[in-house]
């Protein structure tokens, strides 16, 4: 069942949602400390992070999937959010500098088509931040948060998807080691959980955060050529002709000499 925008907004308003936004947002800011003069697009439910990343951006847009719903963003001023089909974005090719995907890849039926569309709207050398639930993490195993919905991914699966869409991962972070429970003691010790998980490189982080760059040139696909083997006559070597004896003048053509008869005893 697709995520609903009302549930997403309620999650980020909760204490656990504040924890998720803080640690994911820190990883994003490490990758992109400055988006000055950049055209920034958020796809999925990315508004909690666009409010931090898009402060200095030239233009910031929030696209939300049709199956999820849309909310007005930002609250003051003109709205910069719209309801779209994620694999058919209403943007020209190479019109965006940076894209942030949150609660998007795990919810789509065709992840490869989604990344292909993101690659289309990004200009050459554009960058993408991808936030996806970790298949081995606790957050993907418990459905009390948005990261427990949809399809989680392993690191190998994400690498293959990005490579097929011509993205090159530049930085990779794993965050949210704290268990996804609304307990006050866990909320207070969330920073300690993150430090222990990062220090020991534990495999059960809740979320992958990847900074990837669109490659400048796309590989030209190799097309197999068909060879038609038509039936052709086979030329075999012929024996050399035996020379014929010349006839007297007036006779036409050449003929072989008659065989001699053996003499009788």
Q: Is the CB of residue 29 less than 8 Å from the CB of residue 163?
A: no
Q: Is the CB of residue 97 less than 8 Å from the CB of residue 39?
A: yes
261 pLDDT band, cuts 50/70/90, is: low
Least confident piece of the model among 37-51, 211-225, 244-258: 244-258
Distance in angstroms (rounded) separating the CA atoms of residues 155 and 115 = 16
Q: Does residue 119 carry a pLDDT above 90?
A: yes
Distance in angstroms (rounded) separating the CA atoms of residues 128 and 169 = 9
Angle, helices 15-31 vs 190-200, to 10°: value is 40
Euclidean distance between the first and the last CA atom of the chain, given in angstroms as a whole number: 115
Q: Is the CB of residue 94 less than 8 Å from the CB of residue 124?
A: yes
Q: Does residue 29 carry a pLDDT above 80?
A: yes
Delineate the domains of the chain, giving CATH numbers in brackets. Answer: 5-214 (3.40.50.150)
Sign of CA dihedral 147, 135, 52, 73: negative
Q: For residue range 132-181, what is the model confidence (pLDDT) as tens digits?
A: 999 999 999 998 899 999 999 999 999 999 999 999 999 999 999 999 99
Q: Where is pLDDT greater, at 249 or 26?
A: 26
State the pLDDT at residue 78: 87
The torsion defined by the Cα of 151, 152, 155 and 160, in degrees rounded to 10, comes to 0
259 pLDDT band, cuts 50/70/90, is: low
Q: Is the CB of residue 128 less than 8 Å from the CB of residue 41?
A: no
State the pLDDT at residue 245: 55
Q: Does residue 28 carry a pLDDT above 60?
A: yes
The tokens of 148 are what?
Answer: 């427990």
State the pLDDT at residue 215: 86
Q: For residue range 197-213, what is the model confidence (pLDDT) as tens digits?
A: 988 888 889 999 999 99
Q: Which positions ≥6 away from 264 have C-beta within 8 Å? A: none
Q: For residue range 226-243, what is the model confidence (pLDDT) as tens digits?
A: 544 455 555 555 666 666
Q: For residue range 47-104, what is the model confidence (pLDDT) as tens digits?
A: 999 988 988 899 999 999 999 999 999 988 889 999 999 999 999 999 999 999 999 9
The arithmetic mean of pLDDT across residues 15-35, rounded, is 95
State the pLDDT at residue 265: 44
Residue 98 neighbours by CB distance under 10 Å: 22
Q: Does residue 225 carry a pLDDT above 50?
A: no
State the pLDDT at residue 54: 85
């Amino acid at each position: 069942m697709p995520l609903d925008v009302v549930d997403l907004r309620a999650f980020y308003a909760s204490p656990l949602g504040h924890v998720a936004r803080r640690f994911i947002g820190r990883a994003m800011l490490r990758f992109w400390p400055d988006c000055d003069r950049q055209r920034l697009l958020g796809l999925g439910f990315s508004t909690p992070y666009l409010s931090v990343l898009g402060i200095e951006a030239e233009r910031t847009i929030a696209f939300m999937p049709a199956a999820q719903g849309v909310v007005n963003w930002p609250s003051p001023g003109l709205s910069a959010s719209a309801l779209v089909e994620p694999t058919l974005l209403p943007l020209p090719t190479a019109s965006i500098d940076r894209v942030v995907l949150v609660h998007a890849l795990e919810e789509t039926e065709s992840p490869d088509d989604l990344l292909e569309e993101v690659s289309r709207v990004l200009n050459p050398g554009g960058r993408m931040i991808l936030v996806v639930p970790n298949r081995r993490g606790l957050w993907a195993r418990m459905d009390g948060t948005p990261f427990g919905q949809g399809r989680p991914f392993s690191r190998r699966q994400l690498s293959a998807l990005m490579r097929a869409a011509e993205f090159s991962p530049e930085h990779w972070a794993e965050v949210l080691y704290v268990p996804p429970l609304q307990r006050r003691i866990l909320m207070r010790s969330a920073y300690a959980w993150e430090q222990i998980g990062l220090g020991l490189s534990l495999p059960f982080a809740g979320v992958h955060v990847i900074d990837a760059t669109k490659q400048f040139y796309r590989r030209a696909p190799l097309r197999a050529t068909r060879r038609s083997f038509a039936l052709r006559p086979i030329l075999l070597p012929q024996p050399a002709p035996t020379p014929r004896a010349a006839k007297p003048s007036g006779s036409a053509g050449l003929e072989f000499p008659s065989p001699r008869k053996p003499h009788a005893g």
